[in-house]
């Protein structure tokens, strides 16, 4: 039941242009049978719509689907970072934006972590330059009045165009763990006195970022 329902939901997610992890979260979250299934089954048995044998099996199907759903989310959380490392996200288009603004803080990656950092820094009156490889995320930022630039933050030419040589702080909030480490290594080699703050995904990633030269490391799910 969950496989059949999940297949239909996945097709709907594609049709309505739900992308990335949101597509899988949409599919996993709705593939189970809902609690109202118990009410419907009971009513169907009272009205003799369902045979008694099937009526005894269906509540077990509903209960098992509800049990499997959180396990599926746990499995998805465990597999998603590994898949991201093996298959880094590709740009929607090849040509990055032309950067026409500079500031003392560069934020590489504007997911949920980068968005909070950007908001806090700007509320403190400090100008930021936001870079991200996801065109849809940059477009969403712009609709809310925040300016960002599309492009791969790990590319040296884009970093220098964003003012890496003059920036005092670099915030690394990339979803791809290895790309984050490469970015820190490059930025540290370019200018040893620059302050680098990075988001880590797990304990191992903390040590990798520390060896790469990060000054401050924040584990999103822990700190």
Over residues 113-122, the mean pLDDT reads: 91
pLDDT at 126: 94
Determine the 3-state secondary structure of 105 from DSSP. Answer: strand
Provide the mean pLDDT of the chain. Answer: 87
- This prediction has a pTM of 0.58
Long-range CB contacts (within 8 A, 24+) of 27-31 = 28/69, 28/72, 28/73, 28/76, 29/69, 29/73, 30/5, 31/2, 31/3, 31/5, 31/6, 31/65, 31/69, 31/72
Distance of CA 110 to CAs 14, 51, 135, 173, Å?
A: 24, 54, 11, 7
Question: Nearest-CA neighbor of 154 among 188, 179, 172, 185?
Answer: 179
pLDDT at 20 over 90: no
Q: Could you tell me which of 131, 127, 128, 39 has the C-alpha nearest to residue 91? A: 131
Split at pLDDT 50, 70, 90, the class of 92 is very low
Give the pLDDT of residue 128: 94
Q: How far apart are CA 126 and CA 43, in angstroms?
A: 61
User: Is the pLDDT at 185 greater than 90, yes or no?
Assistant: yes
- % of the chain with per-residue pLDDT over 90: 54
Find the mean pLDDT for residues 84-102: 63
Strand-pairing partners, residue 198, are 172, 217
CA–CA distances in Å: residue 185 to residues 81, 131, 211, 213, 217: 21, 18, 9, 6, 14
Position 145 pLDDT exceeds 80 = no
Lowest mean pLDDT among 85-94, 167-176, 185-194, 209-218: 85-94
pLDDT at position 82, please? 60
Does 91 have pLDDT greater than 50?
Answer: no
**Comparing 140-149, 168-177, 199-208, which segment has the lowest mean pLDDT?**
140-149
CB 164 within 8 A of CB 106: yes
| Domains of the chain with CATH codes | 2-86 (no CATH), 105-219 (3.40.50.720)
Averaged pLDDT, 21-28: 83
């Amino acid at each position: 039941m969950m496989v059949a329902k999940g297949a239909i939901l996945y097709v709907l997610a594609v049709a309505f242009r739900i992308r990335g992890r949101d597509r899988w979260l949409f599919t996993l979250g709705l593939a189970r049978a809902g609690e109202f299934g118990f009410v419907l089954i009971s009513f169907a048995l009272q009205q003799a719509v369902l045979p008694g044998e099937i009526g005894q099996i269906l509540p077990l199907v509903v209960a098992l689907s509800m049990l499997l759903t959180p396990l599926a989310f746990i499995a998805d959380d465990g597999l998603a970072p590994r898949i991201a490392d093996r298959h880094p996200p590709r740009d929607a288009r090849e040509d990055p934006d032309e950067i026409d603004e500079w500031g003392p803080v560069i934020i590489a990656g504007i997911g949920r972590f980068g968005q909070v950092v950007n908001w806090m820094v700007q509320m403190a009156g400090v100008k930021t330059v936001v870079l991200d490889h996801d065109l849809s995320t940059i477009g969403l930022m712009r609709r809310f009045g925040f300016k960002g630039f599309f492009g791969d933050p790990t590319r040296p030419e884009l970093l220098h165009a964003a003012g890496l040589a003059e920036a005092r702080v670099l915030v690394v909030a990339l979803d791809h763990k290895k790309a984050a480490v490469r970015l820190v290594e490059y930025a540290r080699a370019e200018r040893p006195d620059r302050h680098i703050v990075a988001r880590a995904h797990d304990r191992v990633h903390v040590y990798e970022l520390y060896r790469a030269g990060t000054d401050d490391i924040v584990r999103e799910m822990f700190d």
